[in-house]
Amino acid sequence: MARIALAGFMHETNTFAPIKATWQDFVRAESFPGLTQGTDILDVFPGINIGTGGFIAQARQLGHTLLPIAWAETVPSAHVTVEAFETMSDLILQGLREQQPYDAIYLDLHGAMVSEQFQDGEGELLRRVREQVGPDMPIVVSLDLHSNTTQAMLDLSDGLIAYRTYPHIDMADTGARAARYLDALLRELSDNSSFKPAKARRALPFLMPMIGQCTMVQPTLGVYQELERLEQS
């Protein structure tokens, strides 16, 4: 089966907040583990309701070999500092160089990161990863439901798999869906090396208030029920 490199770098940025996210914020544990590197990821994350935990469990069940690099997250705040963004990005890129060879990459991201120097933090990270590994390496990303998904994120990845619940109770399930999607993509590529998944993005000209976003009740419940129906068809 496939060798899959995996890493995570998660932050939900509120540019109106007063306090920035420093490197030490990512290093220390908050509601989720602090900075975790290498094979420790395989010991720490299984059983935790987060994308990486679900991905590890599902990918193992599918028979893939996992090459963990680094994972870090901190609570929502203002911009991610230059030091924090560059340090974590460098850890991921260095790990990708050291773990070669591999057949695919899984990244556990939030989708709403803004750093001091980049409005689209995830897009910039994906740009650097893509520049290093080339255009043909499959890259699949799990995202928060509240991701600010950009065209760059879509163009630089081969699949963006987002949570479908708010409150977020399906984070591990989302990681598992990402693993199944990546497995299907790799199987397709084994038969047709030039295969590229179709991708599209449409930004709607409005924002939903938080009080209307709960996926347990209407109207949002119906939106996700329709999404499930479309996916099954």
Question: What pLDDT, on a 0 to 100 scale, did the predictor assign at position 91?
Answer: 99
CA angle in degrees (0–180, nearest 5) for 102-1-55: 75
Q: Which domains are delineated in the chain?
A: 3-202 (3.40.50.2300), 207-233 (no CATH)
Contact 102, 1 (CB under 8 A): no
Does pTM surpass 0.85?
A: yes
One-letter-per-residue 3-state SS of 66-126: EEEEEEEECCCECCECHHHHHHHHHHHHHHHHHCCCCCEEEEEECCCCCECCCCCHHHHHH
pLDDT for the residue 88: 99
Per-residue pLDDT of the chain (233 residues), as tens digits, is 999 999 999 999 999 999 999 999 999 988 889 999 999 999 999 999 999 999 999 999 999 999 999 999 999 999 999 999 999 999 999 999 999 999 999 999 999 999 999 999 999 999 999 999 999 999 999 999 999 999 999 999 999 999 999 999 999 999 999 999 999 999 999 999 999 999 999 999 988 888 889 999 999 999 999 999 998 88
Q: How far does CA 141 lie from the centroid of its chain?
A: 4
3-class DSSP state of 158:
coil
* pLDDT (0 to 100) of residue 112: 98
The 10 Å Cβ neighbour count of residue 128 is: 16
In whole angstroms, give the CA distance from residue 172 to residue 75. 18
pLDDT of residue 208: 85
What is the distance between the alpha carbons of residues 213 and 174, in angstroms, rounded to a whole number?
Answer: 18
pLDDT attached to residue 124: 99
List phi, psi (to 5°) of 76: -55, 145
